[in-house]
Structure 1
């Protein structure tokens, strides 16, 4: 046994005459990462061990916590499954687990990475289906934006802008139609006398009808007549001109014979009145049995263009928007201004109640208050007893309230006077006469 001053070769007490050896420092546990939290101390009493001696505290026993074995990672899905998920991944429709698996696979598989890139680019092109119909305000916004930068040297007259806009909308609809749709049957409806009338034609036939009636305005401006040498004698009205065109062109005129000529004629009309100056609006346009100033003729043609474009859209099952509010107001105003004359014509034909005799010369007579609600609406006072008189709010004997769309459908002959859901108050005869006079404004 060694003495207390002797050390062995490990730094422990050895033999006599040997120098003591100092052990090298040991590495700290912190050098290999943070220490784990120690478990709560437990006493020997809790473990059933001996009770410590009095006056001495026993050091808590630290027991190592056995590490739980790590669960083996699930194998990745096979290549075929991951490739089938690329479409859903591009649409961001995968679950988080599927997304992680696909993205891990894309780092190792070049073919799938290329396919995923193509699919992600294709997703960027997807968007909800939009209507091919032009926004009614698109043309106005574009023109306004252009005019802010440079005013138009030759602007379109205000009374011609509704026709310009409606012709552009109809042209856009026709450009989207296939050849078979041009032969689709279209039902034209109007009101004649006391009953509705209808006539069936094709899309091409409707465009031919519009072109032929627009020809009355064209000839008044010195432009060529689309009927050429087939113009009937005298001053034919819209119906006679249309029947002549259908008879010479056949029941189914070709799209090439109608779309291009109609579009060119509408452009020529707008261009001519724009260069002609402000006084051209007072030029008289014959409509057979009556005449209209050129400014009102353009509003009339805008109304017909919109109505028949709606007939075409219904035939090919396509949505079609009404005119812009400012344009619709001009069209409603024209119909309201024509009502006293239409009422007088029905009275001469025995289809309306007789006018009341005026108490004194120059008196305004009875008035009907026409209230048109909604977009493009307003208030008009219709003279009931004289087409030359102006309606006076003080002489109002009846009131009719109609939505703007319903009023236009009534004026187009698409709704009968009995079916018009109007708010009515006052003299029943006056209300009936004005509703029927509104429907009589329609024609082929």
Structure 2
């Protein structure tokens, strides 16, 4: 059972971005006046957003600087620490460096509805890395992509939702057979866009990606929850537009982290409330992928939420517990199902089925 304290902590990121629902706008300030730990976290988030909205601003005279953002779980970094050695041996600069880059270059985060805030923040996060890419566009990142190709992939990936919402493509169309599966069409389009963008300057690719992202944050669906409730088919799934915005946030964050790793930078995870929005989306998609006949497994994610996945009305055959951050990395294809940190009891085959199916969802 969650407490009022837990509820408010989950609202702090939205509070900092001015994206609270009307019914929540009085709850947060009242709790902050009584809870020192939440007030400290709220001030940190508010200071970060303030700097993102206006990089020229310095801390107010006499104010206490906000604590450094908490590093990603498993990064081994301490707040305010120096370079961080990754488990793979790569030295990465701490999350405070990302904020410093954001201060120099990041534009204001658009005011959008709650479902689009994670995407707006993820886009701002990648923009914060742009100055670090200069001169290193050919550095390997993930799969067989360099930094330039990774941004081109995001241009291609966002394009699918952009077209559904009436935005014109920014790259010439591909000649794809009509009978291609969505996965094959997705991969072919990505390959075509990357090939096209490698013939242009990286700055041109970034400009088109940023302009398309701005377009997605400007359309009515980014501001009107009722319009975003309309279901559309994308990536083989018919989901509300709001959920597809979360999908775009998920992928943008994941590739920002990929680029950060390649550049030796620690990219902070999404704010807690955004992370939970991504977790809930991933669980819904995982449930669809498992289908109604899979052996039932009780999935719990750190923070208290749990779901029974698989066949309904049958006894649970296993229990599986994962950290929210690790669960997202698993679904994003950045954790191996055999080595992801997890606690499991019961039918090992049922657990393995859930983990492997979660990892198979990665379209990133």
> What is the TM-score normalised by the length of structure 1?
0.54
Report the counterpart of residue 126 of structure 2 in structure 1: 170
Give the SS at the match of 1:230.
Answer: coil
Report the counterpart of residue 182 of structure 1 in structure 2: 137
Q: Any idea what the Cα deviations from partners look like across 1:138-187, whole Å, max 9, x if unmatched?
A: 9xxx999xxxxxxxxx951111110011110111111x224322221112
Q: How many residues align?
A: 266
Q: Residue 367 of structure 1 contacts residue 381 of structure 1 at CA under 8 Å; is this kept in 2?
A: no
Give the SS at the match of 1:226.
Answer: coil
The question of 1:324 aligning with 2:271 is answered yes
Q: In structure 1, how many angstroms separate the alpha carbons of the residues matched to 2:245 and 2:113?
A: 10
Report the counterpart of residue 434 of structure 1 in structure 2: 354
The question of 1:405 aligning with 2:325 is answered yes
Report the counterpart of residue 309 of structure 2 in structure 1: 383
Q: In structure 1, how many angstroms separate the alpha carbons of the residues matched to 2:236 and 2:222?
A: 29
Give the SS at the match of 2:99.
Answer: coil
Give the SS at the match of 2:218.
Answer: helix
> What is the TM-score normalised by the length of structure 2?
0.65
Report the counterpart of residue 22 of structure 2 in structure 1: none
Report the counterpart of residue 25 of structure 1 in structure 2: none
Give the SS at the match of 1:417.
Answer: coil
The question of 1:211 aligning with 2:176 is answered no
Q: Any idea what the Cα deviations from partners look like across 1:211-263, whole Å, max 9, x if unmatched?
A: 1110111001101123333363537543222012123333x752222111111
Give 1:401 shift: 1.0
Q: In structure 2, how many angstroms separate the alpha carbons of the residues matched to 1:301 and 1:244?
A: 20
Q: In structure 1, how many angstroms separate the alpha carbons of the residues matched to 2:138 and 2:309?
A: 44
Give 1:276 shift: 5.9
The question of 1:367 aligning with 2:296 is answered yes
Q: In structure 2, how many angstroms separate the alpha carbons of the residues matched to 1:378 and 1:219?
A: 38
Question: Over aligned residues, Cα RMSD in angstroms?
Answer: 3.2
Q: In structure 1, how many angstroms separate the alpha carbons of the residues matched to 2:232 and 2:191?
A: 20
Equivalent positions of 1:286-305 (< 5 A) are 286-305=233-252
Report the counterpart of residue 253 of structure 2 in structure 1: 306
User: Which segments of 5 or more consecutive residues in structure 1 lack a partner in the other structure?
Assistant: 1-126, 145-153, 188-198, 345-353, 357-365
Q: In structure 1, how many angstroms separate the alpha carbons of the residues matched to 2:232 and 2:188?
A: 16
Equivalent positions of 1:85-164 (< 5 A) are 131-134=96-99, 156-164=112-120
Give 1:368 shift: 1.9
- Relative contact order, CA 8 A, sep 6+: which one is greater? 2
Give the SS at the match of 2:278.
Answer: helix
Query: 1:310 and 1:400, CA in 2 relative to 1: closer, same or farther beyond 3 A?
Result: same
Give the SS at the match of 1:327.
Answer: helix
Give 1:288 shift: 4.8
